[in-house]
């Protein structure tokens, strides 16, 4: 892993407790997103119910801060969700 692969912007985001109740499903997903990402398989193993709704809840909180939660194909039918900084388009 090279230094350019690190996303230092994530250090600027609020901690999970600022958005969600400690231990809640949203809290646990957001915590893993801040750590680099979470796969659909991890959410299934962690008994996260309705993970698309959870991701939408987190996305709603992050959009006002200029970030989004994006889904990428990871391996086969497994997807990975990550936090991505939104790019500003000059007017």
Return the pLDDT at 1: 41
Does residue 42 form part of some domain?
A: yes
In sequence order, which residues have a C-beta less than 8 Å from that of residue 35 and are 6 or more positions away? Answer: none
| pLDDT of 16 above 90 | no
Does residue 48 form part of some domain?
A: yes
Q: What is the pLDDT of residues 27-84, one digit of tens each?
A: 999 999 999 999 999 999 999 989 999 999 999 999 999 999 999 988 888 899 999 9
Give the CATH number of the domain where residue 67 resides: 3.90.1150
The structural domain count of the chain equals 1
Does residue 65 form part of some domain?
A: yes
CB atoms within 10 A of CB 38: 25
Return the pLDDT at 55: 95
Does residue 6 form part of some domain?
A: no
């Amino acid at each position: 892993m090279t230094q350019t692969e690190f996303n230092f912007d994530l250090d600027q985001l609020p901690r999970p407790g600022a958005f969600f109740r400690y231990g809640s499903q949203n809290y646990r997903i957001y915590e893993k997103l801040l750590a680099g990402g979470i796969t659909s398989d991890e959410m299934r193993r962690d008994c996260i119910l309705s993970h698309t709704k959870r991701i939408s809840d987190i996305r709603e909180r992050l959009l006002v801060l200029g970030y989004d939660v994006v889904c990428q194909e990871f391996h086969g039918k497994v997807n990975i969700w990550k936090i991505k900084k939104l790019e500003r388009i000059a007017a």
